[in-house]
């Protein structure tokens, strides 16, 4: 079943036409990777989906779980179950791991109140469930987030998103700046989260790592989709990888 359907959207920063007739779909339960070089439009596409402005979508449509969410307020989109983990991670550095998760409780409780009114699926993961995915965070629950490694901060950013009601988890460059062994830990957690039923849309500069765990891939170039298909097909398409990904 298609959970997210993006149909020929055109996004603009002022008069700059950044996203050009982008269409893509994400099926329930799968990992979809959105790939491309810097400036290709990957993050802008996530911002269009999440309702963040800029860019503003001037044509086309975005449907989530059968409901049109095109240009809806970000808070309404979040309540419907879309969580975005931005590239900057944005953890509260002066708070501990446990306090970061506790702060997410406020958003979680408000979100769940609205979700129950709208008869949506219920709550996000409990802290105990999150610590099962990220045992390293469990070990450091009393440690301030600002003293964590980059990989641990990335785990915490993902954990906060999962603590809310999340049906679609959008990850923007989760491997950015991480050592290979830490990438593997984050990668394993993403796969487990997917296997347990959370749908994932992954934007990643590290195309090799993304293709390893993705079911399906889209490649953007200058704001346009230039490839779509199974991850295995892209892995075997050296011409496309050379031209648009440099791998």
> Using alpha carbons only, what angle is made at residue 147 by residues 145 and 151, rounded to the nearest 5 degrees?
75
**Residue 38, Cα to own-chain centre: how many angstroms?**
17
- Dist. CA 190–CA 192, nearest whole Å: 5
Within 102-190, strands assigned E span 168-172
On average, the pLDDT of the chain sits at: 90
For residue 30, the model assigns a pLDDT of 97
Q: What are phi and psi of 191, to 5 degrees?
A: -65, -40
For residue 115, the model assigns a pLDDT of 46
Q: Which CATH code of 3.40.50.150, 3.40.50.800, 3.40.50.360, 3.40.50.300 fits the domain covering 2-241?
A: 3.40.50.300
For residue 125, the model assigns a pLDDT of 81
Contact (Cβ atoms closer than 8 angstroms) between residue 36 and residue 245: yes
Q: Across residues 103-124, what is the average pLDDT?
A: 56
Q: How many CB atoms lie within 10 A of CB 239?
A: 7
For residue 113, the model assigns a pLDDT of 54
For residue 126, the model assigns a pLDDT of 83
For residue 108, the model assigns a pLDDT of 53
Greatest pairwise CA separation for the chain in angstroms: 50
Q: Across residues 61-74, what is the average pLDDT?
A: 96
Among 2-6, 89-93, 190-194, 225-229, the least confident range: 89-93
Among 12-21, 110-119, 152-161, 233-242, the least confident range: 110-119
Write the CB contacts of 55 (distance below 8 Å, at least 6 apart in sequence): 11, 12, 13, 18, 19, 44, 47, 48
Per domain, the residue ranges of the chain are 2-241
Specify the pTM.
0.90
For residue 121, the model assigns a pLDDT of 52
Residue predicted with more confidence, 89 or 10: 10
Express the helix, strand and coil content of the chain in percent, nearest 5 each.
Answer: 40, 30, 30
For residue 107, the model assigns a pLDDT of 56
Put the strands of the sheet holding 224-230 in their side by side order: 82-85, 168-172, 199-203, 31-35, 216-221, 224-230
The pLDDT confidence band at residue 164, using thresholds 50, 70 and 90, is: confident
For residue 111, the model assigns a pLDDT of 53
Q: Among 47, 48, 40, 35, which residue's Cα sits nearest to residue 8?
A: 48
């Amino acid at each position: 079943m298609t959970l997210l359907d993006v149909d020929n959207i055109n996004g603009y920063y002022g008069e700059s036409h950044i996203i050009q007739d982008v269409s893509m779909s994400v099926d329930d339960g799968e990992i979809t990777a959105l790939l491309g070089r810097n400036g290709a439009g990957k993050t802008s596409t996530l911002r269009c989906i999440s309702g963040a402005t800029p860019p503003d979508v001037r044509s086309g449509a975005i449907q989530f779980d059968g409901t049109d969410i095109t240009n809806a307020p970000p808070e309404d989109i979040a309540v419907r179950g879309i969580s975005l983990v931005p590239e900057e991670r944005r953890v509260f550095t002066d708070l501990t791991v446990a306090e970061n998760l506790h702060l997410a409780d406020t958003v979680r409780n408000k979100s769940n109140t609205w979700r129950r009114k709208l008869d949506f699926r219920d709550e996000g993961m409990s802290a105990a469930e999150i610590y099962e995915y990220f045992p390293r965070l469990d070990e450091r629950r009393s440690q301030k987030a600002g003293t964590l490694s980059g990989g641990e901060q990335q785990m915490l950013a993902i954990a906060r998103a999962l603590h809310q009601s999340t049906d679609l988890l959008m990850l923007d460059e989760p491997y950015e700046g991480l050592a290979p062994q830490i990438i593997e830990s984050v990668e394993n957690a993403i796969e487990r989260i997917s296997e347990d039923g959370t749908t994932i849309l992954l934007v990643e500069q590290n195309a090799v790592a993304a293709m390893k765990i993705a079911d399906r891939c889209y490649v953007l170039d200058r704001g346009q989709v230039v490839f779509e298909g199974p991850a295995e097909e892209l892995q075997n398409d050296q011409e496309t990888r050379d031209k648009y990904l440099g791998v």
